[in-house]
């Protein structure tokens, strides 16, 4: 029986991207029992690494055993009770996802929207907070569907002054941009594994502070079968057991109360990926992402393509580019993938079919990958009769950038 053998890809999307091979190596280690002291030691170290990654003192910094949206749902479902007002600023698809999660938790959604490609000024959000007076502000940091970086430096503080909880979906920017959680006064933040951290999808680091913890613990209910006489119960419990953050606190905290069977090798992968990222340094890693992002933009523009969206508020790991006239989105991408092993992404919503998203995330954000990409992408675009494409100019602009700028 042949064993699984995957063909190589150059994944230039906003994720999932290639895993760092050192992460894959770590994931091939043998299984430990979930209460084996060697494993709980790794759990504790992973929590400390998550704290460092978010520059936070938050005790409660641990991963959810699920993909990014499991992390977002865990946070939303734990803080939002039926009838709670939640303000959701929307600049693309992932804002809608958050409204969906709020509604499923029984919350009442209020929105403030900007068209795809734009962001919402923080002062407008603060004004809207005053108008709506929500319990929670839930906001996307890097809206990958449009490649925009929503400013959030001020709103955490503004929300805190107003007694509002700030929840930030930082799945796409995590470990690619600096997210100083405590400095920005964010109450709960969700990171992502399979993007700038370059760890396989399936585990999601989150962090939340004491204020947030106190609030969700009003809903705490320890499950039957392991509940003791000392455990209070409540009728307004969190409706998920798997994603109940208060039970996960008992599992990741000192009590080590049995919950799910921890996803051992995903933890190994997260642990190793975070060790590598923290060793590189959060700021250094952010600089590396910006650096290659600029290189990509120079190359793309010189190819003859037009960028999409507000250039003042770009995620530093996704270039959004208008699809040239005469090129079919899906067909082009399918052929680029099947013929050259290179993957780029389309998008969702209003801009679907109109833009491509080219990612330079984590392990992929490296000079040789970008040079290989710009050449093949440019030549193939030209061969498909896109107008005014100049592959040589694209490559030259990129090499010029690398020659003239150092990391």
270-299 binders of its own copies (CB under 8 A): 271-272, 275-276, 279
228 near its own copies, judged by CB under 8 A: no
Shortest Å distance, C-beta 95 to its own copies: 8
Stretch that binds its own copies, among 48-56, 69-77, 127-135, 315-323 (CB under 8 A): 69-77
- Annotated binding residues for substrate, as ranges? 357
> If we measure between CA atoms, which residue out of 374, 376, 368 comes closest to residue 396?
374
Q: Confirm or reject binding of residue 1 to its own copies (CB under 8 A).
A: yes
Q: Does 357 bind its own copies (CB under 8 A)?
A: no
Residue among 176 and 202 whose Cβ is closer to its own copies: 202
> Residue 169 phi/psi, 5° resolution?
-85, 105
The β-bridge partners of 322 are 355
Closer residue to its own copies, CB minimum distance, 106 or 180? 106
d(CA 122, CA 125): 5
What does DSSP say about strands 204-208 and 60-64: parallel, antiparallel, or unpaired?
A: antiparallel
Token output for 157: 């503080």
How do beta strands 318-322 and 355-359 pair?
antiparallel
Residue 262, token pair as written in the block: 């921890």
CB-based contact 96:120 (threshold 8 Å)? no
- Candidate residues 86, 87, 265, 358; the one interacting with its own copies per rule CB under 8 A: 265
Closest approach of Cβ 261 to its own copies, in Å? 5
Q: Check residue 67 for interaction with its own copies (CB under 8 A).
A: yes
266 binds its own copies (CB under 8 A): yes
Give the footprint of its own copies on residues 160-219 (CB under 8 A).
194, 200-203
Question: Does the footprint of its own copies cover residue 245 (CB under 8 A)?
Answer: no
C-beta separation of 389 from 304 below 8 A: yes
User: Which among 13-21, 129-137, 156-164, 381-389 is the span making contact with its own copies, rule CB under 8 A?
Assistant: 13-21
Nearer to its own copies, 209 or 264 (CB): 264
What angle (nearest 5°) sits at the alpha carbon of residue 96, between those of residues 95 and 99?
A: 95
User: Distance between CA atoms of 171 and 407, rounded to whole angstroms?
Assistant: 24
Q: Stretches 104-112, 180-188, 307-315, 396-404: which one binds its own copies (CB under 8 A)?
A: 104-112
Tokens, residue 241 = 């057991």
Q: Could you tell me if 123 and 285 are in contact, meaning their C-beta atoms sit under 8 angstroms apart?
A: no
Q: Is 10 helix (H, G, I), strand (E, B) or coil?
A: strand
Q: Which of residues 33-52 bind its own copies (CB under 8 A)?
A: 33-34, 36-38, 42
d(CA 214, CA 163): 13
Q: Is 142 in the site for its own copies (CB under 8 A)?
A: no
Binding residue for its own copies (CB under 8 A) from 133, 153, 241, 405? Answer: 241
Closer to its own copies by Cβ: residue 20 or 187: 20
**Cβ 27 to its own copies shortest distance, Å:** 6
Q: Does the bond joining 16 to the residue before it have cis omega, within 30 degrees of 0?
A: yes
- Count helices and strands in the chain by DSSP H and E runs: 13, 13
Residues 6+ apart with CB under 8 A from 69: 97, 101
Residue 116 phi, psi (nearest 5): -55, 135
Among 47, 70, 179, 355, binds its own copies (CB under 8 A): 70
Among 75, 77, 125, 126, interactor with its own copies by CB under 8 A: 77
- Examine residue 242 and tell whether it contacts its own copies (CB under 8 A): yes
Is residue 263 near its own copies by the rule CB under 8 A? yes
Give residue for tokens 């150092």.
Answer: 406
Residue closer to its own copies by CB (options 73, 187) is 73
Among 43, 47, 105, 300, binds its own copies (CB under 8 A): 105
- 322 counts as binding its own copies under rule CB under 8 A: no
């Amino acid at each position: 029986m042949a064993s699984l053998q995957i063909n190589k890809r150059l994944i230039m999307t906003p994720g999932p991207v290639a895993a760092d091979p050192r992460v894959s190596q770590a994931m091939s280690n043998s299984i430990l029992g979930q209460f084996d002291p060697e494993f709980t030691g790794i759990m504790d170290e992973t929590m400390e690494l998550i704290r460092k990654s978010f520059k936070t003192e938050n005790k409660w910094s641990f991963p959810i055993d699920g993909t990014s949206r499991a992390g977002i749902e865990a946070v939303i479902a734990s803080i939002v009770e039926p009838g709670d007002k939640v303000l959701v600023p929307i600049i693309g698809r992932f804002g809608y996802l958050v409204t969906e999660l709020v509604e499923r938790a029984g919350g009442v959604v209020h929105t403030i929207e900007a068209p795809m490609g734009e962001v919402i000024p923080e002062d407008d959000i603060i004004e809207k907070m005053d108008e709506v007076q929500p319990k929670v502000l839930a906001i996307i940091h890097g809206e990958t569907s449009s490649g925009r970086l929503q400013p959030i430096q001020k709103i955490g503080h503004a929300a805190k002054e107003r007694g509002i909880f700030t929840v930030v979906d930082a799945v796409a920017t995590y470990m690619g941009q600096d997210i100083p959680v405590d400095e920005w006064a964010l109450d709960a933040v969700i990171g992502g594994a399979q993007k700038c951290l370059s760890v396989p999808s399936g585990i999601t680091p989150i962090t939340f502070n004491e204020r947030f913890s106190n609030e969700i613990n009003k809903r705490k209910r320890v499950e039957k079968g392991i509940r003791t006489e000392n455990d209070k119960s409540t009728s307004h419990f969190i409706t998920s057991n798997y994603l109940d953050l208060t039970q996960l606190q008992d599992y990741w905290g000192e009590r080590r109360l049995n919950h799910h069977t921890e996803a051992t090798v995903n933890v190994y992968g997260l642990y190793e990926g975070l060790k590598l990222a923290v060793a590189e340094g959060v700021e250094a890693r952010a600089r590396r992402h910006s650096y290659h992002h600029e290189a990509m933009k120079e190359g793309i523009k010189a190819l003859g393509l037009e960028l999409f969206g507000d250039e003042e508020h770009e995620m530093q790991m996704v270039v959004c580019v208008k699809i040239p006239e005469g090129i079919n989105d899906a067909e082009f991408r399918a052929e680029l993938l099947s013929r050259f092993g290179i993957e780029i992404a389309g998008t969702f919503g209003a801009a679907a079919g109109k833009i491509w998203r080219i990612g330079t995330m984590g392990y992929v954000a490296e000079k040789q990958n970008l040079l290989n990409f710009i050449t093949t992408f440019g030549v193939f675009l030209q061969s498909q009769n896109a107008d005014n494409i100049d592959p040589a100019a694209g490559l030259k602009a990129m090499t010029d950038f690398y020659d003239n700028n150092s990391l």
